[in-house]
A and B are shown apart, each in its own frame.
Chain A
Amino acid sequence: MEFAYLGAAIGAGLGVIGAGLGIGLLAAAAMEGISRQPEAVGDIRTNMIIAAALIEGVALLAEIICVLVVVTK
């Protein structure tokens, strides 16, 4: 039963790695786009936030499942 805590903790960490990589790559690409085309900053920012929100949603789903593992253990 103690392994449930271990699993939840590792799962939470893995979820954060995925979200961090995703949002990091996204932000890097957006920064590059803005530096190449500074006049498109508004469009790029809006689309970046939409994509970041979608990535974040998936990561939060993973974190919720980790919390559920601990709570319903």
Chain B
Amino acid sequence: MQGLLRTFKKKGVILTALVAFIVMSGLTVVLSLAQQEKEAGIPAQAKPSKPTPEDLEAGKLTYFKKCVWCHGSEGAGDGPGADRLWPRPRNFNQGTFKIRDTGSGELPTDQDLFLTVTHGLPGSAMPPWSHVLTEKQRTQVIQFVKTELVKDRDFQDPDETFTVINYGKQVSSSKESIEKGLEVFMKKGKCVECHGNEGRGDGNATQNDEWGFPILPADLRKCYNFRGNRSDPYNPANVFREVSTGLNGTPMPSFADTLTEDERWHVANFVISLCPKKDIDPLTNKPKISFVLKSTFVSGELPATLDDPKWQEVEPLYVGLGSQITHKPRNFVRLVDEVWVRSFYNTDDIVFMFEWNDRNKSHITEEAKKIDPNTMSEVPPSGRAVADKGVRNWPVFDDAVAIQFPAKWKELVAPEKPRFIFGDAKRSVDLWKWEASSGAKEYTGKGWDSLGFRDDKHLKVVQAEFKDGQWRVVLKRALKTDDPENEVQFDPGYYIPTAFFAWDGHNGDAGRKMSMTTWYYTILEPPVPMKVYYLPPVMALVVVGIQFWVYSRFDARRRKK
């Protein structure tokens, strides 16, 4: 026993054991890292692989459980859910795919399809399948789609070419690059003709895709809605790719021959610069939502115009909107999916600014005035599916935006609120609506089917303007009015429930056919209390005092010694 201990005590052994331990752990770390890299993606291969019969069987099983409902049993993009979707699910039969690394008109590589299934296509109904299907399952389902559902073309046909684009040398974003990109956007590339002067996709909203369905140019201000952003919305490489390859089946052409590589990078940097930099929520692939709208106190006059520089002092709140599909008539395809809101208040009034993108300026037509929007059918007048030329096939109503508060929020017993869709019988709401043709209107809501107009004229439109695919509207109202029964009364420092609604007149939005949110909160920020200004320096001074005291005590002791 003693001998053994002595051996172990020998320094050499301990050292060796320690070194061996470190090396082994290091190796494990390195190996697992390597394994991870490999799992992160199949190495790119332009030549499509040949599937095995097992792959096809497994892929078919996955397809008929997860994919068939949108893409259809023959892959023709006509599954049971397809008619209520816009953009429609992909029709695989022609082998036409948008997001690829290959040239215009060519089939995609396996890697392209894999990444599409993995990351989904934001801005459409195609979700990311990365956490649902394993890598193998995704590969197998793609093999099934390529082999059985792409019918008009053959991936193994020797005549099919797969020219993978050359990304070249990425030009990093800079002020110069963005300016050059703007040049290209406006002149050489002529992107402005479809994508609009400010990139909001309002240049040409009348186009169709290869199958005759309506298609709208991308709103370049919403990079998180780009189909090909592959979970990396702020990466210019995605834009470079789309500009270089073009999107098959759409009016977006390939610019590989008309623009140099540098020019395409400049344009990519320019496009990404248009998108507001927000924290993206990885679960929704949209900006993270804060449910509190802060209204800032102003001691003097409130901003009186849209371009008042005061508006730039606050960050606008990103408000995400969904469709109203709760009560008839339901709106399966909503085009207004976000509104940016700002607010100020002073001792008398409160103002709200709403900004949202809309490709068409819509004013209600004479024909539409005769229609009660709440009796409209859920499918367009043509009688065909919503997405069958449907996005445009409605009578034109007013563009509109609305903000809603509980009329008597102070009397609510937390957490109770009125029903967010226009209130309920017990708790009514005060709804402020702005319509493109009639300006500001106030309503009392006592239920989803019970919205009553109030001719109060307390709500004022400060300014409203449509420019280059964007509406900007400022509404103003007094903090307190003489009708507390029906009208919301504002008090600083309280969380006042707030909901938002929006309508795109060219999309058949009117009445209950709209975009909506559930409850947010508005808080009128009380002025900063004095203690925030004097307490921190006081605390700092106290700490300095303590430090001196400690030093003097130590010093005294040392001197005594």
Q: Do A and B bind each other?
A: no
